[in-house]
Amino acid sequence: MRCFLILFALSCCCFLSQEGIAQDSTLLPDKPGTFKIMDLGVYTFYKCDYTAADTTDNYRKLTAIINTLRTNPVLGSPKGFDFLVLIGSWNCDAKNGYGIPVEIGFDFCSWSLVGGKEVKWSSKPPEWLLEMNRLKSFSGGGFTVITDTKDKSKQGFNKEQWEKASGKLNELFIMPGTKEQVEKGVDRYNKDFIIVYNPERPAYWKHVTIREVFDLLLDYWRKHPDGNTSTTIVKMLEREYSHFSEAERNGYAYYGDPTTLSRIVSDPKQLPVMRVNPAYWNKNLPRSAIQILSFHCPADKNIIRKEKEEQLKNNSGYYHLSRFIEALDLTIFPGMIDR
């Protein structure tokens, strides 16, 4: 959906093209900007059977969140950029989801003076994303697999079973860096990614065991359509699995050893292997409720400040995005969560 948002924004955000940032360009930081919200089919892009009451209430909540974010001093009265808010959707997840999954893109279409003409950034303007009601947001990779059957299909190959095995394996992911609790209901990963949640609910992610990981890996590769590939990889995984004791197999899985195919270890100093926890959802709330948020906000404001100063020096439109992130107040987000 993000690609769709960007493509749509290119046709709507800016009427002049700025191919990169011209070396002779100068930012126009005092030029009055505009503010606009665009709904990119947040409730109609996917067929998720939302009720009219759910969509109406959810859009009201989204508008309230946008208005709250506009209390940021950079957004209150945009200067130097046109501020475009793009509201799009993610597909509903029947197995692990509940609320309406939404992505809001905040585009900073900066104005510059280029060759004596005022030009607005039109090609992929700097963007800040706010995701809501997605339990697998900002998760790291590690287990992404494909179900392309271009490989020679072995005798007895069942494409439907292989796709199911792929879907189960793809539910696993790597924790995106070291976790720290900023405050109650606000976690930060890798000093960069923020997740805002209801701390009174069960954990939004669950740590999986080594046994679970290998069961899913072996199931996927045993059902692979290429017989030679399937046999080779299954043997390698079985050999790796045999090195773990029974106690280790029942213990938590971590991702780290680059010398093995699975990269699975029992070392808690490495990053945990996780899956989303559907029990996090409070299904007594309507689907319109906002139950979890995620976005990018580096912990070190000094780094952001230095980047901002360098961007201003270089007349980069990212200057406005850095200004916004520097002024971002994390205390406003817990109040956006419905409980």
The stretch 300-309 carries a mean pLDDT of: 96
Contacts of 67 (CB under 8 A, 6+ apart): none
- Rounded to an integer, what distance in angstroms lies between the CA atom of residue 136 and that of residue 261? 24
**pLDDT tier for residue 24 given thresholds of 50, 70 and 90:** confident
The domains of the chain are located at 2-135+286-336, 139-172+208-276
User: What residue has token string 């201003």?
Assistant: 312
Q: What is the pLDDT of residues 84-93, one digit of tens each?
A: 999 999 999 9
- The per-residue pLDDT for 79 is 96
Phi, psi of 11 (to 5 degrees): -85, -15
The stretch 239-252 carries a mean pLDDT of: 98
Q: What is the pLDDT of residues 151-178, one digit of tens each?
A: 677 888 999 999 999 999 999 999 999 9
- The per-residue pLDDT for 23 is 60
**Joined tokens for residue 201:** 């609910």
Strands (E), the chain: 26-27, 35-39, 81-89, 102-114, 117-120, 127-132, 173-174, 179-183, 186-189, 193-197, 205-207, 254-255, 264-265, 271-276, 292-296
Q: What is the pLDDT of residues 172-206, one digit of tens each?
A: 999 999 999 999 999 999 999 999 999 999 999 99
Q: What is the mean pLDDT of the chain?
A: 90
Asked if residues 315 and 21 have their Cβ atoms less than 8 Å apart, the reply is: yes
The stretch 321-329 carries a mean pLDDT of: 97
**DSSP strand pairing (35-39 vs 81-89):** parallel
User: What residue has token string 């960007």?
Assistant: 6
- Rounded to an integer, what distance in angstroms lies between the CA atom of residue 152 and that of residue 306? 54
**HSE-CB for 56 with a 13 A CA cutoff:** 3
Q: Look at residue 30 and tell me whether its pLDDT is greater than 90.
A: yes
**DSSP strand pairing (117-120 vs 193-197):** unpaired
Q: What is the pLDDT of residues 37-69, one digit of tens each?
A: 999 999 998 989 999 999 999 999 999 999 999
Q: Look at residue 105 and tell me whether its pLDDT is greater than 60.
A: yes
- The per-residue pLDDT for 144 is 67
- The per-residue pLDDT for 123 is 78
- Rounded to an integer, what distance in angstroms lies between the CA atom of residue 129 and that of residue 26? 26
Q: Look at residue 9 and tell me whether its pLDDT is greater than 60.
A: no
Asked if residues 88 and 41 have their Cβ atoms less than 8 Å apart, the reply is: yes
